[in-house]
Structures are given as C-alpha cells and as structure tokens.
C-alpha cells in the first residue's frame, strides 16, 4: 500500500511511519524544505519530498500516486509562535489542498485521515465537565487561532465527504505525550503555577500566589510537585494520549470503511486525577509534593472512547503508572530532560 504522511518528521508522524514501514507499505513523507529530521526518515526507508502545504502544486505532486493520505502536518501550539495568517495558510489552506488532491486520485484513493485536536472544544468551563465527553457533546467553538483553524479543517473534510463521497476520517488527539514525557508535564510542577499566578492582581489570585510561594519555600525553591485542586478542593482530572496508542489507532483505522465520514476522539486507556498520579510520581522520583486549591477554572474532564473502540477496535494499553515507571527508568539511565520519541 502506498501511504503518504504529511508531517512525517514529527514525533507522531515518525512513529506512524515506522509502523507502516514495518508492515511492508511504501511510505512517502512530506516535509518543510530543510527539515533536519528528513535524513533520519530516509534512513528508515521512507521516501521524502520537500514542499509547502500552502502550495497546491507541491501538494498535488506529493499526493499523486498514493492510496492512503495521513495528514498530520500543521502549524500547532507547541511549535510556534505562529501568526493568524500562518495558521490559516498552513492548516486551513493546507488541508484544503490535501483534500482536493486526494479527491483527484479518484478510485485509487482508499482513505484520507485528517488530524484534528481537542483544542477545537472548550474543555475548561467553570466547575469542569462532569460527564465523559463524546465527539459531539461539546460545540466546536474557539477563539484560539490553532483550535479555530482545526474547526475549519474538520468542516472541510465534512464538505468533501458529503459532496464528493471522499473516504475521509477525522482523528482528534488529546494532549500528546511521547515516551517518558509524563514526568515533564508542566501542570504537575509547582513552578508552573507560580509563573501563572505571579501576575494576578485580583484578591483570589494574589492569595493563591502567596500559598504557592509558601509551598515552594519548603524546598527552598527546588523541584516540587503539586496536587492541583479546584476552589472547592476537588482534584483536577485530565485525559491525554501517548504516541504509541496513536500509532495503534492509525494501524487499526486506515482503510476501514466503518470510519468514513466520522470523527473520533483518541485518548489513553483511562483519565487520571492529580491526587492519585502525583503521589505516585513523588514516590518514584523522590520529589516532594504539595496540595493546593487553585483560583482558576479547573482541568476536569475525560473522554468517552467508545466510538473508536466500536468502529475500529481502538484499544489503548498504556497506563499512566507504566508511563511514570518508564520515565523514571530513562532518567536513571542518564537520559534526563524530555525523552525523545523513539521511531
């Protein structure tokens, strides 16, 4: 099978590429000119073509002759900063170009998968979200340019599916961690919230900042974890996803007609709460922790993954505790810092 992956040098794209190469597929990658990881992907056996997603000529050329298109390339939050124009040109126009070129493949096209994000949904209302979030339980509405560009991308796929019967699927990612990155997640660390609250001028914000400063002083400003809770003392809850579970999802979904025209939210096998995970990280790393009620809208949500499980057998396997143990082993072996995703 001939598989095109845009954004192939990213941590998700590289791992998906490796999986399809291992399956014996012909993998082509589309990268920005001068991408420093391109040679590494060539060494793994992928064909690499340089170009610009905003160029219809470049996209038409790279899509030509392919059977499956996995569209991961994008301007995204962690890679920026990007201007609104860059978000529009790369994400919206780029997705339009990918879909138009895919349509022109005609019967040769088996599947096109458009990557989206849970940033299309407002997940942080006052009080959090009590019920598991399904693919259509929240309106797609955002003022953030990255999230809004992805709302438009989803709409484009829906148009091509309805008008041209394109065999297309939308895959929404939760917050993505690579192998071992769990230990470096900012919201697990008290220093993250010190920075967030230091500029607050309202009474509740200033009071929270004083509490955070006092907790930080217990370790003389050294590393300290935090069990984040809302103003009522309820621990935060979050759902994320690990790269290897995403690889499993694409392995299962590609070419599956049951997915055509649908959107799927992907997440790890379970959500986590700060009061359970942080003490475990503390035990494994020796870093002390504090429990603080934060005067901000809480992170409190989880996803209903039943659509992906029912339609294409999505079965994420990595537990949060396994991820912590893996990160600790890596640090013990002298890795340190953010763990690069293996490919």
Residue pLDDT, tens place only, 26-43: 999 999 999 999 999 999
pLDDT digits (tens, 9 = 90+) for 179-216: 889 999 999 999 999 999 999 999 999 999 999 999 99
Determine the pLDDT at residue 335. Answer: 57
Q: If you average pLDDT over residues 109-121, what whole number do you get?
A: 96
Distance CA 245, CA 270 (A): 12
Determine the pLDDT at residue 271. Answer: 97
- In this structure, what token pair is assigned to residue 40? 């590494």
Q: 143 pLDDT exceeds 60?
A: yes
* Cis preceding linkage at 81, omega within 30: yes
**DSSP-H helix ranges across 30-144:** 38-43, 56-63, 84-87, 94-103
pTM of structure: 0.93
Three-class SS state of 80 = coil
Residue whose C-alpha is closest to residue 341's, from 243, 249, 267:
243
Q: If you average pLDDT over residues 215-225, what whole number do you get?
A: 95
Distance CA 300, CA 271 (A): 10
Three-class SS state of 130 = coil
Mean pLDDT taken over the chain:
94
pLDDT digits (tens, 9 = 90+) for 72-93: 999 986 667 899 999 999 999 9
Sole residue written with tokens 């003490």: 279
> Residue 121 gets which letter from DSSP?
B
pLDDT digits (tens, 9 = 90+) for 294-321: 999 999 999 999 999 999 999 999 999 9
Determine the pLDDT at residue 336. Answer: 46
Q: If you average pLDDT over residues 254-268, what whole number do you get?
A: 97
Burial string for 54-88 (b: 16+ CB within 10 Å, else e) reads bebebbeebbeebbbbbbbbbbbeeeeebeeeebb
- In this structure, what token pair is assigned to residue 130? 């009590």
Q: 340 pLDDT exceeds 60?
A: no
Determine the pLDDT at residue 62. Answer: 98
Determine the pLDDT at residue 81. Answer: 84
Distance CA 284, CA 110 (A): 46
Residue whose C-alpha is closest to residue 247's, from 342, 166, 320:
342
Determine the pLDDT at residue 333. Answer: 81
User: How many Cβ atoms are within 10 Å of 34's Cβ, its own excluded?
Assistant: 7
Percent of the chain predicted with pLDDT > 90: 91
- In this structure, what token pair is assigned to residue 162? 């309805």
Determine the pLDDT at residue 42. Answer: 96
């Amino acid at each position: 099978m001939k598989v095109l992956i845009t954004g192939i040098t990213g941590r998700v794209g590289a791992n998906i590429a490796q999986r399809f190469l291992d399956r014996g597929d012909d993998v082509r990658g589309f990268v920005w000119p001068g991408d420093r990881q391109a040679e590494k992907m060539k060494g793994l056996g992928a064909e690499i073509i340089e170009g610009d997603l905003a160029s219809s000529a470049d996209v038409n050329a790279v899509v030509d002759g392919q059977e499956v298109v996995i569209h991961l390339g994008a301007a995204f939050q962690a890679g920026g900063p990007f201007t609104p124009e860059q978000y529009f040109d790369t994400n919206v126009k780029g997705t339009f170009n990918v879909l138009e070129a895919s349509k022109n493949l005609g019967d040769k096209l088996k599947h096109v998968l458009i990557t989206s994000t849970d940033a299309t949904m407002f997940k942080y209302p006052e009080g959090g979200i009590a019920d598991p979030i399904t693919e259509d339980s929240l309106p797609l509405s955002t003022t953030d340019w990255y999230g809004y560009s992805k709302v438009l991308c989803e709409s484009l796929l829906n148009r091509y599916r309805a008008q041209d019967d394109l065999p297309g699927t939308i895959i929404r990612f939760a917050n993505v961690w690579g192998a071992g990155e769990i230990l470096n997640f900012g919201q697990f660390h008290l220093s993250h919230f010190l920075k967030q609250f230091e500029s607050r001028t309202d009474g509740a914000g200033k009071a929270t900042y004083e509490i955070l400063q006092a907790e930080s002083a217990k370790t003389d400003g050294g590393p300290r974890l935090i069990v984040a809770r809302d103003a009522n003392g309820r621990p935060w809850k979050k759902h994320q996803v690990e790269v290897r579970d995403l690889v499993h999802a694409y392995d299962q979904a590609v070419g599956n007609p049951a997915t055509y025209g649908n959107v799927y939210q992907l997440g790890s096998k379970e959500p986590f709460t700060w009061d359970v995970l942080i003490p475990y990280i503390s035990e494994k790393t020796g870093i002390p922790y504090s429990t603080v009620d934060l005067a901000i809208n809480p992170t409190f949500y989880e996803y209903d993954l039943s659509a992906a499980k029912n339609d294409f057998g999505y079965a994420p396997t990595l537990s949060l505790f396994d991820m912590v143990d893996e990160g600790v082993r890596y640090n013990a072996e002298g890795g340190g810092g953010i763990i690069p995703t293996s490919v």
